[in-house]
Amino acid sequence: DERRGTRARRREFRFERIEAWQLARQFNRQVYAISRKFPKEEQFALLPQIRRASNSVGSNIAEGSWRNSDADFGHFLEIAYGSLMEVGSQLFVALDENYSTQEQFDAIADEADLLAGKIVNLSKSLGRWKARAPHVVRQQDPCGKIRP
């Protein structure tokens, strides 16, 4: 109690215990780190777009976790997944425009793939995921570059 000089531990939000949200938070930090290096001409184009989409992943997981039904939560997980795919597409733009290195791209793409799997598994646990490919399988070409 603050009157006695001790501070009570804050209550944890429900979404903080969700592994997919934890990974989304980590992924968001990586997106921000990479996007800090974007050139000035992207200040009003790719930069805010990739950051908004990245923020949307964790935000939708959090918002959905407070909904009253699994169906509602599942809907928000689908939106989070879509936002993650949007970030993935924008990361390809950053790579193609040499705003990030192949190594940076590979590292964040691996994180995106892991996060996609967590979102899909969480959605499946709610009985929401349909029979469709959960995420893109990336393959290396003979030169070692990632292909979608």
pLDDT tens for each residue of 62-103: 999 999 899 999 999 999 999 999 999 999 999 999 999 999
Closest residue by Cα to residue 38 from 107, 85, 104: 104
Residues 6+ apart with CB under 8 A from 45: none
- Distance between CA atoms of 106 and 103, rounded to whole angstroms? 5
Query: In the chain, how long is the greatest CA-to-CA distance?
Result: 67
Closest residue by Cα to residue 105 from 9, 22, 33: 33
Closest residue by Cα to residue 93 from 17, 34, 25: 34
pLDDT tens per residue, range 13-48:
999 999 999 999 999 999 999 999 999 999 999 999
Is the pLDDT at 52 greater than 60, yes or no? yes
CB neighbours (10 Å) of residue 4? 6
Closest residue by Cα to residue 45 from 84, 94, 82, 85: 94
pTM as predicted: 0.82
